[in-house]
Amino acid sequence: MSNRFGTLTDLTVQGVPYRFHNLNALTLGDGRPVSALPFSLRVLLENLLHHEDGLTVTPDHIRALLNWNPTAEPDQEIAFRPGRVLLQDFTGVPAVVDLAAMREAMKRMGGDPARINPLQAVDLVIDHSIQVDEAGTPRALQLNTEIEYARNKERYVFLRWGQTAFANFRVVPPETGICHQVNLEYLATVALVDRKPADGGAPIVSPDTLVGTDSHTTMINGLGVLGWGVGGIEAEAAMLGQPISMLVPKVVGVRLHGQLPQGATATDLVLTVTQLLRRHGVVGKFVEFYGPGLNHLPLADRATLANMAPEYGATCGMFPIDAETINYLRLTGRPAEVVTLAEAYAKAAGLFRDDSTPDPVYSEYVDLDLSTVQPSLAGPKRPQDRVALSEVKNGFLKSIEPMRPASSPAPATDRLDHGSVVIAAITSCTNTSNPSVMIAAGLLARKAVAKGLTPKPWVKASLAPGSKVVTEYLRDSGLLADLEALRFHVVGYGCTTCIGNSGPLAEAISKEIHERELVAAAVLSGNRNFEGRVNPDVRANYLASPPLVVAYALAGSVAIDLTTEPLGIGSDGQPVYLRDVWPTPVEVQETIHRSVRSDLFRTQYADVFRGDQRWRDLPVPQGDLYQWDETSTYVKHPPYFEGMTLEPPPVEDIRGARVLAVLGDSITTDHISPAGSIKPTSPAGRYLKARGVEVKDFNSYGARRGNHEVMVRGTFANIRLRNKMVSVEGGVTLHLPSGEEMAIYDAAERYASEGVPLVILAGKEYGSGSSRDWAAKGTRLLGIKAVLAESFERIHRSNLVGMGVLPLQFPEGVNVETLGLNGHEVFSIEGLAEGIATEFAGGREVRVQAIKPDGTTVSFTARVRIDTPQEVRYYRHGGIMPFVLRQLLATSNA
């Protein structure tokens, strides 16, 4: 173990000897103390000191951080090794599938398959498979759980095998909670301990760090733990001991001051911050919160803010460790020794904040007075589109103007019409981890029940707590019964409506929506509301705090102004307004103080990995190699290693490529690889029906991510996708030169049979949204060699490289329209052979030539968005997985 910088220091906590890297022993290149660095960069600095080996981490990497220039454009590469990896099952199942396939490939190529094992601690939380099939009844939880196990038995059996076949791999069973809330309430420790260091000395303490296969992994930043979302591909590399290559980022400091006013919630705050930071521009940057406002921000509110870092575009949304952090560890029932060590270590290492701590230096500064936050929603299509509560009605009516004749009346609120709230869901890690908004929802429900209000009959109401602790404190306070009186029964423990697992609407309601072409609405306490995500019948989706979700269920429409119009008529015949039922801060805090207790956390997490009887009764396959079932429609051997050679083939230019789709701005990973329902008439639906799967058993794309045959057919299959090459919505394109209109998958298959490579043309923010590995995997399996876009979202760009797909960026001010392209051209991309052969391709330009049907040529340059030397290596090997496998083979056979 290296200690080249002399930072390794002794630490004794309650008589137990430890060692740690003391950042206070260092000074920055300009002579300032390390405390001038943002806290997030101090964690990265410690990570480099901890793993400095002269190879993957060199003294120059450490000096790059010590010489950090806050305003310089990032160009210094470092290798980050997270202490652990967090998976959810949608992305976790394909990750385990890939590891199982790597074991077989390792054996086939003469290596030791046992080398394929997580080298870092990995926790997989099964939280994405529960669907709201049943809602509004006391049996909802039981029925949804039964359906979940019936649908997902193959996947769960596979995970049971992985739990026993792989080392360092734990599984949190279904119906426990959302992975980020389980991480916040139980898994995270703030300080990690390496009890078997390489030099055989005393245990070494370091900051708790992680990456997760879900973009909202950033929620843990609220606890002072540095972590962010990566694609499943990159997570697999981290699991196998590969460092995550990254550039030392810019860090945006967000100064918080003041206090939230009465009536404003943590949800309103995060929607305000999301809008503010989207406008400022934080994509690819770290965000760090500081200032006196932290003293008035509970840990749960911090977690809410950190959770939505993907929505405001940042890599992370970091908070420092302080007294509130330590108090939260105690509240959530962490063992006393864990709490004591976390506090002692953070203070000794220079990672603890108090009122005397000087503000760090940041690359950019943003200011927010918390007292200016007002009740808000976000929608109807994007989380950054915040709208004040008083403007929701007008905003919605304006959004549907093109769909209504100018003379038509306003939508009715007493029957199903435009704006009717057909889904009201208290859901998602963003809010269900926060007692203040959950208790507020319960108190609002109690007052509404007392007034005699009930939800409108067309509203599908649901309550999906992020952990069982939430149910317990709602039950303890008596508020669960009030929520149930308004049909907000618990439907399951997991990520439901926010990811498209909202389940079907009542058949009559769905039919009327389609027959009358209504723009129905959903109001959910989630973090995502992209088109086509929540429910195929719903076109307007609004993010809101849990109490506002309850309020809109009572009102039944977003086409009313809740600040001036009544929620409904009470049992006394008088109108009831939102202000009449809104709880006061004192009521919320008194209830939290009474009902949110440490013993609830200790009880619920006492045996968290054991699961219920259904989980324990599942069969557990044996053996180091998985026995693939050829008839399975859930878990199939993937094709990534077929024909793989010991040496990678040379990089070649792309010639004679056709355009598979021409897409606009803000194409999300939901557009590219939907997680929701599978249409029976889609290529994926046809595939399943041909294998005897009934439509009622289709499940979702997300649940079938272990089957590449389903997922490649679902790529670009979102019902709201707009391909400019055709006039219809959905996953449709033109095959050229035939001019035939067909499903994107069918066109890709035809091009493959003709030996034609493919490209995608797109606008700004391509790949925003969830860190969905299948958006890149499906792209690769369709035969797409390159994506040309105006800009990329961070994770998806990285995932494309990780699958061997080339991300190219149009020059500034240049796009499909300015070049006069329409997708009918034949493309060649030249300069790759020599460009990618260099050690670092970041910023390098290649020549693009597009030949139109009339023979005229459009030529331009595009910037290669392979941003680090490590990414160059991944691309040259055809992706991360072939690269890692070749590295392991080389050491295995050495």
Give the integer Cα–Cα distance in Å for 278 and 312: 5
pLDDT at 838 over 60: no
Residue at token pair 């038995």: 153
> What CATH number did the domain enclosing 857 receive?
3.20.19.10
Residues 6+ apart with CB under 8 A from 339: 326, 329, 330
Q: What is the dihedral of CA 164, 165, 170, 175, to 10 degrees?
A: -60
Q: What residue numbers bound the domain in which 231 lies?
A: 84-237+320-346
Among candidate residues 543, 316, 276, 307, the one with its CA nearest the CA of residue 430: 307
What would the mean pLDDT of 180-200 be, rounded to a whole number? 95
Query: Residue 564: is it exposed, middle or buried by C-beta count within 10 angstroms (0-12/13-18/19+)?
Result: exposed
Helices (H) and strands (E) in the chain, counts: 32, 32
More confident residue, 754 or 868: 754
pLDDT band for position 133 (cuts 50, 70, 90): very high
Among candidate residues 575, 551, 436, 430, the one with its CA nearest the CA of residue 483: 551
Residues 6+ apart with CB under 8 A from 255: 290, 291, 293, 359, 365, 366, 367, 368
Give the integer Cα–Cα distance in Å for 439 and 455: 19
Give the integer Cα–Cα distance in Å for 749 and 531: 27
pLDDT band for position 795 (cuts 50, 70, 90): confident
Report if residue 866 sits inside a domain: yes
Report the SS3 class of residue 24. Answer: helix
Contact (Cβ atoms closer than 8 angstroms) between residue 312 and residue 282:
yes
Contact (Cβ atoms closer than 8 angstroms) between residue 304 and residue 266:
yes
Element at 228 (helix H, strand E): strand 226-229
pLDDT in tens, 337-355: 999 999 999 999 999 999 9
Query: Residue 589: is it exposed, middle or buried by C-beta count within 10 angstroms (0-12/13-18/19+)?
Result: middle
Among candidate residues 430, 806, 869, the one with its CA nearest the CA of residue 652: 806
Check whether residue 328 and residue 442 sit in a common domain: no
Check whether residue 222 and residue 331 sit in a common domain: yes
Query: How does the average pLDDT of the chain come out, rounded?
Result: 94
Give the integer Cα–Cα distance in Å for 768 and 202: 44
Residues 6+ apart with CB under 8 A from 195: 203
User: What's the pLDDT at 408?
Assistant: 66
User: What's the pLDDT at 837?
Assistant: 55
User: What's the pLDDT at 409?
Assistant: 77
Q: What is the DSSP letter of 606?
A: T
Strands 784-789 and 568-569, bridge-based pairing:
unpaired
Contact (Cβ atoms closer than 8 angstroms) between residue 848 and residue 655:
no
User: What's the pLDDT at 169?
Assistant: 95
Percent of residues, the chain, with pLDDT higher than 70: 98
Planar angle of CA 238, 244, 249, nearest 5 degrees = 145
Report if residue 367 sits inside a domain: no
The amino acid occupying position 807 is P
Report if residue 549 sits inside a domain: yes
pLDDT band for position 869 (cuts 50, 70, 90): confident
Q: What is the dihedral of CA 90, 94, 96, 98, to 10 degrees?
A: -170
Contact (Cβ atoms closer than 8 angstroms) between residue 132 and residue 492:
yes
Strands 209-212 and 226-229, bridge-based pairing:
parallel
Check whether residue 450 and residue 337 sit in a common domain: no
Q: How far is CA 201 from the centre of its chain?
A: 38
Residue 502 tokens read as 């909202």
pLDDT at 236 over 90: no
User: What's the pLDDT at 842?
Assistant: 56
Give the integer Cα–Cα distance in Å for 759 and 151: 36
Check whether residue 414 and residue 559 sit in a common domain: yes
Other C-beta atoms lying within 10 Å of the C-beta of residue 833: 12
pLDDT at 406 over 60: no
pLDDT band for position 405 (cuts 50, 70, 90): low
> What CATH number did the domain enclosing 139 receive?
3.30.499.10
pLDDT in tens, 538-583: 999 999 999 999 999 999 999 999 999 999 999 999 999 999 999 9
Give the integer Cα–Cα distance in Å for 27 and 598: 41
Among candidate residues 346, 363, 398, the one where a domain is terminated: 346
Give the integer Cα–Cα distance in Å for 327 and 342: 11
Check whether residue 475 and residue 329 sit in a common domain: no
Contact (Cβ atoms closer than 8 angstroms) between residue 440 and residue 588:
yes
β partners of residue 542: 523
Total length of the chain: 894
Give the integer Cα–Cα distance in Å for 438 and 545: 9
Among candidate residues 583, 604, 625, the one where a domain is terminated: 604
pLDDT at 702 over 90: no
Contact (Cβ atoms closer than 8 angstroms) between residue 567 and residue 301:
no
The amino acid occupying position 463 is L
Check whether residue 468 and residue 584 sit in a common domain: yes
Check whether residue 417 and residue 513 sit in a common domain: yes
Crossing angle of helices 869-876 and 880-892, rounded to 10°: 80
Report the SS3 class of residue 222. Answer: helix
Report if residue 76 sits inside a domain: no
Give the global pTM.
0.87
Report if residue 862 sits inside a domain: yes
Check whether residue 416 and residue 324 sit in a common domain: no
Among candidate residues 578, 580, 80, the one with its CA nearest the CA of residue 377: 578
pLDDT band for position 843 (cuts 50, 70, 90): low
Give the integer Cα–Cα distance in Å for 166 and 169: 6
Q: What is the DSSP letter of 617?
A: T
Q: How far is CA 410 from the centre of its chain?
A: 37
What would the mean pLDDT of 375-384 be, rounded to a whole number? 94
Element at 845 (helix H, strand E): strand 845-851
Crossing angle of helices 89-108 and 880-892, rounded to 10°: 40
Report the SS3 class of residue 543. Answer: strand
What would the mean pLDDT of 144-173 be, rounded to a whole number? 94
Report the SS3 class of residue 219. Answer: helix
Check whether residue 330 and residue 381 sit in a common domain: no
Check whether residue 122 and residue 168 sit in a common domain: yes
Tally the domains of the chain.
3
What would the mean pLDDT of 423-439 be, rounded to a whole number? 95
Check whether residue 341 and residue 478 sit in a common domain: no
Q: From start to end of 690-805, where are the E strands? A: 732-735, 740-743, 758-761, 784-789
β partners of residue 21: 8
pLDDT at 268 over 60: yes
Give the integer Cα–Cα distance in Å for 730 and 300: 39
Report if residue 304 sits inside a domain: no
pLDDT in tens, 710-749: 999 999 999 889 999 999 999 999 999 999 999 999 999 9
Among candidate residues 604, 639, 670, the one where a domain is terminated: 604
β partners of residue 540: 521
The amino acid occupying position 559 is A
3-state SS string for 782-802: CCEEEEEECCECHHHHHHHHH
User: What's the pLDDT at 71?
Assistant: 95
Strands 826-830 and 845-851, bridge-based pairing:
antiparallel
The amino acid occupying position 832 is L
What stretches of 358-463 show up as alpha helix (H) in DSSP?
392-399, 429-432, 435-451
Strands 316-318 and 84-88, bridge-based pairing:
unpaired
Strands 732-735 and 740-743, bridge-based pairing:
antiparallel
Report if residue 867 sits inside a domain: yes
Planar angle of CA 7, 10, 13, nearest 5 degrees = 135
Report if residue 634 sits inside a domain: no
Check whether residue 336 and residue 420 sit in a common domain: no
Residue 186 tokens read as 């139980």
Other C-beta atoms lying within 10 Å of the C-beta of residue 45: 26
Query: Residue 597: is it exposed, middle or buried by C-beta count within 10 angstroms (0-12/13-18/19+)?
Result: middle
What would the mean pLDDT of 696-702 be, rounded to a whole number? 87
Among candidate residues 443, 441, 489, 447, the one with its CA nearest the CA of residue 464: 489
User: What's the pLDDT at 533?
Assistant: 86
Among candidate residues 734, 187, 140, the one with its CA nearest the CA of residue 484: 140
Give the integer Cα–Cα distance in Å for 401 and 419: 12
Give the integer Cα–Cα distance in Å for 581 and 257: 29
Other C-beta atoms lying within 10 Å of the C-beta of residue 824: 18
Residue 826 tokens read as 């034949």
Residue at token pair 């023979």: 855
Q: Is the dihedral of CA 368, 370, 376, 380 positive or negative?
A: positive
Cα–Cα distances in Å, from 881 out to 240, 532, 639, 708? Answer: 10, 31, 12, 16
Contact (Cβ atoms closer than 8 angstroms) between residue 767 and residue 792:
yes
Cα–Cα distances in Å, from 150 out to 134, 154, 668, 865? Answer: 15, 9, 31, 43
pLDDT in tens, 485-511: 999 999 999 999 988 889 999 999 999
